[in-house]
Amino acid sequence: FDTEALSFYDLNILLTNKEFSFLVFDTRSQKALYLEHYTFSEVFSTNQLLVQLRAIYENHHFLKAGYWKNIKLSCQNNKFSLIPSNLFVEEYIKEYVQLNVEIQNENYFFFKNTISALHSENCFAIDKNIKHWFTKSYYGRELKFIHYTSPFLEGIIRNTIQDDEKNIYLNIYSKSITIIIAENQHIEYCNVFDYNSSDDLLYYLMFVMNEFGLNPNHTKVILWGDIYQSSIQFSKLYKF
């Protein structure tokens, strides 16, 4: 990692309501060079989240630099909706997001990610104050906004062989769980849940499986993200 070579590096930021992390990626060697992770405490509002972000940026020696090759901000929330590309109309992006969750339009900006492997658009909302803060922090630079589920969905489709059975994919990160059901490289379900305990995690999985009539004894569950064989979460899921 060389701070004099930032113009060759991509800055990839991941923000949740509880955590902040960033990864520096060298576009020349196609390798990840640097990773930092922060966990927030006592954050219950956007303003409190911004206070934590300001403290990180003010004390960091290269994070707020403006000469990265690309800057990408990935947000994690449940304010998203998948729409087939051939049915997508830009002017209705707000309405698409509101198919899944009720939100106040005046508090959010709306974006979309094209998921080519799915022939779909992932429409999502980002808090206006968060968007403004990052735009100001990297003034004059173009930021790419990404929903947390977009690369996960793309990766599942591109790396999954044809399978006539429904499989469940769990991505666990920052006290949230993304649950996806896929069959024959088609997505049948995708949602994000916040959880506080391993029992909550198991409850959401059981709830989704029950809704789709899936048998726990015969359904393959593939785990991704922040989970280890020695963790309580893994133990509960394995017994299930």
Pair type for strands 19-26 and 31-39: antiparallel
pLDDT score for 90: 94
- Residue 161 CA: distances (Å) to CA of 155, 165, 214: 12, 11, 20
Confidence of residue 83 (pLDDT cuts 50, 70, 90): very high
Which helix (H) or strand (E) segment holds residue 47: the answer is: helix 46-58
Q: Higher model confidence: residue 132 or residue 117?
A: 132
pLDDT score for 161: 63
pLDDT score for 228: 65
Q: Of the ranges 42-51, 89-98, 217-226, which is most confident?
A: 89-98
pLDDT score for 14: 95
For 169-186, how does the pLDDT look when each residue is reduced to its tens digit (9 = 90+)? 998 887 888 999 988 878
For 156-166, how does the pLDDT look when each residue is reduced to its tens digit (9 = 90+)? 888 776 667 78
pLDDT score for 240: 67
Interhelix angle 128-137/46-58, nearest 10 degrees: 10
Average pLDDT on 214-235 reads 79
232 CB-near residues (< 8 Å, 6+ apart): 198
36 CB-near residues (< 8 Å, 6+ apart): 21, 22
- Indicate whether 18 pLDDT > 90: no
**Sheet of 9-15, strand order:** 31-39, 19-26, 9-15, 70-75, 143-147
Average pLDDT on 131-157 reads 93
Residue 34, both tokens? 């640097």
Furthest CA-CA distance within the chain: 55
CA angle (180 as vertex; 150, 187 as ends), nearest 5: 75
